[in-house]
Amino acid sequence: MFYVDGSGWSRLFPSSPQHREFTRWIDPRIGSAVTSRVSISEARQAADFEPGPARAKAHALVEAVRSKVPQLEVTEEGLKASSFAVKVLEPFQALHIGMAAADPDVDTVVTYDAALARVCQLYALTVVAPGMPDGWQNGDADSSA
Protein backbone atom coordinates (compact mmCIF):
# COMPACT_ATOMS: atom_id res chain seq x y z
CA MET A 1 0.00 0.00 0.00
CA PHE A 2 1.20 3.53 -0.64
CA TYR A 3 0.45 6.93 0.89
CA VAL A 4 -0.02 9.99 -1.33
CA ASP A 5 0.57 13.49 0.02
CA GLY A 6 -0.88 16.73 -1.34
CA SER A 7 2.06 17.33 -3.67
CA GLY A 8 1.28 13.99 -5.27
CA TRP A 9 -2.45 14.59 -5.68
CA SER A 10 -1.78 18.01 -7.17
CA ARG A 11 -0.12 16.20 -10.09
CA LEU A 12 -3.63 15.24 -11.19
CA PHE A 13 -4.07 18.83 -12.36
CA PRO A 14 -3.29 19.08 -16.09
CA SER A 15 -1.18 22.22 -15.59
CA SER A 16 1.05 20.53 -13.00
CA PRO A 17 4.56 19.33 -13.74
CA GLN A 18 4.74 15.53 -14.04
CA HIS A 19 0.95 15.39 -14.67
CA ARG A 20 1.18 12.78 -17.43
CA GLU A 21 3.71 10.59 -15.61
CA PHE A 22 1.76 10.71 -12.35
CA THR A 23 -1.61 9.91 -13.92
CA ARG A 24 -0.14 7.03 -15.93
CA TRP A 25 1.44 5.67 -12.75
CA ILE A 26 -1.52 6.15 -10.37
CA ASP A 27 -4.40 5.01 -12.61
CA PRO A 28 -3.70 1.26 -12.45
CA ARG A 29 -2.66 1.46 -8.78
CA ILE A 30 -5.36 3.68 -7.27
CA GLY A 31 -6.84 0.74 -5.36
CA SER A 32 -3.67 0.50 -3.29
CA ALA A 33 -3.58 4.21 -2.40
CA VAL A 34 -4.29 5.79 0.96
CA THR A 35 -4.16 9.45 1.87
CA SER A 36 -5.10 11.76 4.74
CA ARG A 37 -7.06 14.88 5.56
CA VAL A 38 -3.77 16.76 5.53
CA SER A 39 -3.07 15.58 1.97
CA ILE A 40 -6.57 16.53 0.84
CA SER A 41 -6.22 19.98 2.42
CA GLU A 42 -2.87 20.52 0.66
CA ALA A 43 -4.33 19.43 -2.67
CA ARG A 44 -7.28 21.81 -2.20
CA GLN A 45 -4.87 24.67 -1.54
CA ALA A 46 -2.96 23.79 -4.71
CA ALA A 47 -6.26 23.67 -6.64
CA ASP A 48 -6.94 27.26 -5.56
CA PHE A 49 -3.93 28.34 -7.64
CA GLU A 50 -5.16 26.76 -10.86
CA PRO A 51 -6.04 29.37 -13.48
CA GLY A 52 -9.61 30.22 -14.46
CA PRO A 53 -11.87 27.29 -15.38
CA ALA A 54 -9.13 24.80 -14.48
CA ARG A 55 -9.69 25.70 -10.81
CA ALA A 56 -13.14 24.09 -10.70
CA LYS A 57 -11.86 20.97 -12.44
CA ALA A 58 -8.94 20.74 -10.00
CA HIS A 59 -11.31 21.00 -7.04
CA ALA A 60 -13.50 18.29 -8.58
CA LEU A 61 -10.46 16.02 -8.89
CA VAL A 62 -9.58 16.60 -5.23
CA GLU A 63 -13.17 15.84 -4.23
CA ALA A 64 -13.04 12.59 -6.21
CA VAL A 65 -9.88 11.60 -4.37
CA ARG A 66 -11.42 12.53 -1.01
CA SER A 67 -14.51 10.44 -1.68
CA LYS A 68 -12.77 7.38 -3.14
CA VAL A 69 -9.37 6.99 -1.49
CA PRO A 70 -9.21 5.77 2.13
CA GLN A 71 -7.85 8.33 4.58
CA LEU A 72 -5.45 7.43 7.35
CA GLU A 73 -6.06 9.00 10.74
CA VAL A 74 -3.42 10.34 13.09
CA THR A 75 -2.73 7.68 15.73
CA GLU A 76 -0.61 7.68 18.87
CA GLU A 77 2.09 5.80 16.94
CA GLY A 78 1.84 8.35 14.14
CA LEU A 79 2.21 11.25 16.55
CA LYS A 80 5.27 9.61 18.07
CA ALA A 81 6.89 9.20 14.64
CA SER A 82 5.89 12.76 13.75
CA SER A 83 7.44 14.15 16.91
CA PHE A 84 10.86 12.93 15.78
CA ALA A 85 10.39 14.13 12.20
CA VAL A 86 9.28 17.62 13.24
CA LYS A 87 12.88 18.37 14.20
CA VAL A 88 13.77 18.49 10.48
CA LEU A 89 10.40 18.99 8.77
CA GLU A 90 7.51 21.42 8.93
CA PRO A 91 4.60 20.14 11.07
CA PHE A 92 2.37 18.98 8.18
CA GLN A 93 5.32 17.22 6.52
CA ALA A 94 5.99 15.47 9.82
CA LEU A 95 2.35 14.36 10.03
CA HIS A 96 2.69 12.70 6.61
CA ILE A 97 5.69 10.75 7.88
CA GLY A 98 3.90 9.81 11.08
CA MET A 99 0.79 8.50 9.37
CA ALA A 100 2.72 6.55 6.74
CA ALA A 101 5.31 5.13 9.13
CA ALA A 102 2.73 4.10 11.72
CA ASP A 103 0.62 2.08 9.31
CA PRO A 104 2.18 -1.37 8.93
CA ASP A 105 0.61 -1.80 5.47
CA VAL A 106 2.18 1.38 4.04
CA ASP A 107 5.65 0.89 2.61
CA THR A 108 5.76 3.70 0.05
CA VAL A 109 5.12 7.44 0.00
CA VAL A 110 4.26 9.29 -3.19
CA THR A 111 5.54 12.85 -2.85
CA TYR A 112 7.18 15.62 -4.81
CA ASP A 113 8.39 17.32 -1.62
CA ALA A 114 12.18 16.89 -1.47
CA ALA A 115 12.50 17.33 2.30
CA LEU A 116 9.72 14.84 2.98
CA ALA A 117 11.24 12.38 0.51
CA ARG A 118 14.64 12.56 2.23
CA VAL A 119 13.13 11.88 5.67
CA CYS A 120 11.02 9.00 4.32
CA GLN A 121 14.26 7.16 3.67
CA LEU A 122 15.11 7.37 7.39
CA TYR A 123 11.83 5.61 8.16
CA ALA A 124 12.50 2.88 5.57
CA LEU A 125 9.68 4.17 3.38
CA THR A 126 10.19 3.91 -0.37
CA VAL A 127 9.62 7.20 -2.19
CA VAL A 128 7.92 7.33 -5.57
CA ALA A 129 7.66 10.51 -7.62
CA PRO A 130 6.62 9.59 -11.18
CA GLY A 131 8.36 11.80 -13.71
CA MET A 132 11.19 12.85 -11.43
CA PRO A 133 14.77 11.72 -12.11
CA ASP A 134 16.70 9.50 -9.73
CA GLY A 135 18.27 11.51 -6.94
CA TRP A 136 15.97 14.54 -7.31
CA GLN A 137 15.27 14.72 -3.58
CA ASN A 138 18.98 14.93 -2.78
CA GLY A 139 19.79 17.52 -5.41
CA ASP A 140 21.67 14.84 -7.36
CA ALA A 141 19.61 15.43 -10.50
CA ASP A 142 17.84 18.24 -12.27
CA SER A 143 14.67 18.49 -10.19
CA SER A 144 12.92 20.70 -12.72
CA ALA A 145 12.04 17.67 -14.86
Q: What is the pLDDT of residues 72-107, one digit of tens each?
A: 998 788 878 877 777 778 888 989 999 999 999 999
Whether 12 maps to a domain, the answer reads: yes
- Can you give the residue range of the structural domain that contains 9? 2-136
Whether 27 maps to a domain, the answer reads: yes
Q: Does 125 or 144 have the greater pLDDT score? A: 125
Whether 15 maps to a domain, the answer reads: yes
Q: Is 110 exposed, middle or buried (0-12, 13-18, 19+ CB in 10 A)?
A: buried
Residue 144 has pLDDT above 70, yes or no: no
Whether 141 maps to a domain, the answer reads: no
Whether 67 maps to a domain, the answer reads: yes
What CATH number is associated with residue 75?
A: 3.40.50.1010
In this predicted structure, what is the pLDDT of residue 98?
92
Whether the Cβ atoms of residue 112 and residue 130 lie closer than 8 Å to each other: no
How far CA 99 is from CA of 42, 57, 77, 142, in Å, comes to 15, 28, 8, 29
Tally the domains of the chain. Answer: 1
Whether 54 maps to a domain, the answer reads: yes
Q: Is 30 exposed, middle or buried (0-12, 13-18, 19+ CB in 10 A)?
A: exposed
Whether 144 maps to a domain, the answer reads: no
Per residue in 10-60, pLDDT (tens digit) is: 999 999 999 999 999 999 999 999 999 999 999 999 999 999 999 999 999
Whether 143 maps to a domain, the answer reads: no
Give the side-chain half-sphere CA count within 13 A for 108.
Answer: 13
